[in-house]
Amino acid sequence: MEFGLMQLWEGGWVGALLRGASVTILVGVGAMLLGLATGIACGLIKWARVVPLNWLVDIYTTVVRGVPELLIIYLLFFSSVELVARIGTAFGWAGLAETGYPFLIGIIAIGAISGSYSTEVVRGALAAIPTGHVEAARALGMPKARIFRRIILPQMLRIAAPGVNNVWQATMKDTALISVVGLQELMRTAFVGAGSTRSPFIFYLVAGAVYLAITFVSQSGFKRAERALVLKGRA
Amino acid sequence: MDWDLLHRAVTTIGKGVGTTLTLASVSLAIGFCLGLGLAVMRVSGNRLMSGFAEYYSAVFRGTPLLVQLFLFYYGLGQFDFVRENPVLWWVIGGGTHCAIMALALNTAAYTSEILRGGLISIPVGLIEAAKAAGMSRALRFRRIEFPLAIRQALPAYGNEMVLVIKGTSLASTITVLEITGHAKRLMSQTYAIFEVFTIAGIFYLLINAALIFAVRRIENRLTSPAR
């Protein structure tokens, strides 16, 4: 039984896997940014208890965190792909549903999942800010917008940093699930390569190693950011 | 509203609930034992053992569950010595067994981190007191360290259990017919995408809600007495 290392090298799969990895990173970063925007908005709504909206946010976080990621991706992709294919064909881009659309759905679906976890992180960080700080700022006569910008936001970012790191790790790994609807990212490339060379072991091993490398590199970046966020002269 | 379709969807997808629960409970049971072992290795002070446990948890927590699942199911199935070994083939060959193994190894890594957090949070004075009372190492672990670590770790472990329930849906990608697998098959038969996946989602939400409720009850039981 061959191990498949030669096919991996000679078939040009190394380049394909690296291209897949760049798509994975793109989806991961896009989803994370979308998730953070959602998370900050929803976290603020939950923290400030904006009455009708916070119920919607509660439903959103409960449902998205309680249902498997795979199911959310299936639901969003399959319920809209036919319509998108028809629109694409109407505008003379028949391949839209196969190429561009899984990428877009990937960012939206993973972003929605990431956002539900970010919401909890942001809400927790806001709740951890001592009320005395906000009261002191108010006593000094600061306007509301400045209290938010100068007092609440910087502290929230500092407290939320480790939680955001966790969400990023989970988001990065969730991008692998987009492969089930055919986006040519790292996992999908490994799947295709495994099928065509009939040596799945090496392909999934390499894919796993690339995910691990992405995790380690981003982890050390986050550690540095966390250290930079710590106040000088404390901790 | 198409009641016939809803009825069909609920009964068909409901058939997968048992498989989902089996996958989750067996892998959680195996994963807990492995995770406990790994956590004890982490805090043991032996560099070889704690190093192994640390790398194990970094690798399994740093890669997607889907990659691990495919590596075991398709990757290991490629080798003749695995196919010819009856024990290995029993574990790898079938989708259900393989999914349980992948989920168990995966949750073991997360469980070890949770339990390690519980173990290192125990006040040193309590362990010293147990030593002073002449307790053996095993007795000390069983009577002092383990119960305190569990109490500390239970809320985080509840979240991990929910993640395992959600993780079982990946078994559908290696042909196991659990909730998601049944839902996907029904979708390709009826094209009622929204209804089918909504009902499947409700099943998962109910399972997770019941699980969280049970964990909260246990938490209250463990923390309330005589305080």
ipTM score of complex = 0.89
The pair of structure tokens assigned to A173 is: 């790994």
Domain carrying residue A108? 27-199
DSSP, residue by residue, A170-185: HHHHHGGGGGGGT--S
pLDDT of residue A10 exceeding 80: no
CA distance B98 to B93: 7
pTM of the model: 0.90
* B37 and B206 Cβ atoms separated by less than 8 Å: no
pLDDT class of B217 with cuts at 50, 70, 90: very high
Helices (H), A67-99: 69-90
Cβ density class B46-62: b for 16+ within 10 Å, e for less: eeebbeebbebbebbbb
Name the closest residue on chain B to residue A189, using Cα atoms: B67
Q: Flag if A70 and B71 touch (Cβ within 8 Å).
A: no
* A193 and A16 Cβ atoms separated by less than 8 Å: yes
CA distance B141 to B136: 9
A210 part of a folded domain: no
CA A20 to mean position of chain CA atoms:
17
The pair of structure tokens assigned to B70 is: 């495919």
A71 part of a folded domain: yes
Q: Flag if B194 and A75 touch (Cβ within 8 Å).
A: yes
Q: Flag if B59 and A212 touch (Cβ within 8 Å).
A: yes
| CATH number of the B3-223 domain | 1.10.3720.10
**Nearest-CA neighbor of A78 among A59, A93, A97?**
A97
Neighbours of A117 (CB within 10 A): 22
Give φ, ψ of A96 to 5 degrees.
Answer: -55, -45
**Nearest-CA neighbor of A226 among A147, A162, A136?**
A162
Contacts of A164 (CB under 8 A, 6+ apart): A36, A118, A121
CA distance A13 to A178: 20
Return the pLDDT at A86.
82
Q: Flag if B75 and A71 touch (Cβ within 8 Å).
A: no
A21 part of a folded domain: no
* B66 and B170 Cβ atoms separated by less than 8 Å: yes
CA distance B79 to A75: 36
Specify the CATH number for the domain of residue A181: 1.10.3720.10
A214 part of a folded domain: no
Residue from A60, A62, A73, A75 to probe the interface with B (highest B Cβ count within 10 Å): A75
pLDDT in tens, A55-93: 999 999 999 999 999 999 999 999 888 888 888 888 877
Residue given tokens 């979240």 in the structure block: B159
Partners of residue A203 in chain B, C-beta under 8 Å: 75
pLDDT in tens, A224-233: 888 887 766 5
- The alpha-carbon gap from A199 to the nearest alpha carbon of chain B, in Å, equals 7
A112/B contact by beta carbon, under 8 A: no
Least confident of B47-56, B74-83, B197-206: B74-83
A74/B contact by beta carbon, under 8 A: yes
CA distance A174 to B169: 13
pLDDT in tens, A160-215: 998 999 999 999 999 999 999 889 999 999 999 998 888 899 999 999 999 999 99
The count of structural domains within chain A is 1
Return the pLDDT at A101.
86
Give φ, ψ of A40 to 5 degrees.
Answer: -70, -45
A4 part of a folded domain: no
Residue given tokens 């550690």 in the structure block: A223
Residue given tokens 């390569």 in the structure block: A193
Average the pLDDT over A141-149 and give the result.
92
How many residues in total does chain B contain?
227
Enumerate the domain spans of chain B.
3-223
* A202 and A3 Cβ atoms separated by less than 8 Å: yes
The pair of structure tokens assigned to B72 is: 């075991």
Return the pLDDT at B2.
82
Which of B:163-182 have CB within 8 Å of A?
A: 165-170, 172-173, 180
Is the four-CA dihedral B84, B89, B95, B101 of positive or negative sign? Answer: negative
A7 part of a folded domain: no
For helices B95-120 and B47-62, what crossing angle results, to 10°?
Answer: 120
A169 part of a folded domain: yes
Nearest to B194 among A66, A79, A200 (CB): A79
A221 part of a folded domain: no
How many residues in total does chain A contain?
235
pLDDT of residue B227 exceeding 60: no
Residue from B54, B70, B202 to probe the interface with A (highest A Cβ count within 10 Å): B70
Name the closest residue on chain A to residue B192, using Cα atoms: A79
Partners of residue B205 in chain A, C-beta under 8 Å: 62-63, 66-67
DSSP, residue by residue, B62-106: HS-HHHHHHIIIIIGGG-HHHHH-HHHHHHHHSHHHHHHHHHHHH
A185/B contact by beta carbon, under 8 A: no
